[in-house]
Amino acid sequence: ILTWDGLYSHLGDAGLEAPVPDESLEGFVADLKIFLDKGRIHSLKLVQGVLSRYREKCGFYPGLADCEGGFRVATSSFRELLQILRATGFDVRGVVSGVLGEKERYRYGSNGQYYVLGVVLDDRKHLNISGRVGGSAFGINCGGEVYCLLSPLR
């Protein structure tokens, strides 16, 4: 279970500065939303790197098949994606995938050749961050509060 101290430590290791409650409660909450969103985007980018290595090893992205050549039900959640990556031997310990009991914020969709990673953000200031894509693919609507990253085109 992820604690606040653990989250601050993890994101601090990633070069992200935690907000300090030196202003109004509203200001602190706004800064906390930005901080948490930066951590979520950082987690997506970590997974994006692992997915590149997965494709190098298996020849495709996690989806309808597994690395051993078996077929399975399509990956339907980010947590399931992390389980598949772990089971295939990839380290995803640095990925913050959410707080227990919190509504799933992360999205993953793939056809094996391409993927979409998405996360629901809290702060609207992040909606124009570079690297963000729009549109819809694999059942994920990349717009509004959903920040998305795509697989490289091949």
pLDDT tens over the chain, length 154 residues: 344 555 555 555 555 555 555 556 777 777 777 788 888 888 888 999 999 999 999 888 887 777 776 666 667 678 888 888 888 888 888 787 665 445 567 888 888 888 888 888 887 665 555 555 677 888 888 877 888 888 887 6
Tell me how far apart the alpha carbons of residues 150 and 131 are, in angstroms, rounded to a whole number.
9
DSSP type of residue 153: P
Place of tokens 């717009």: 143
pTM over 0.85: no
Give the pLDDT confidence score for residue 2 in this predicted structure.
Answer: 42
Q: How many CB atoms lie within 10 A of CB 153?
A: 6
Give the pLDDT confidence score for residue 49 in this predicted structure.
Answer: 92
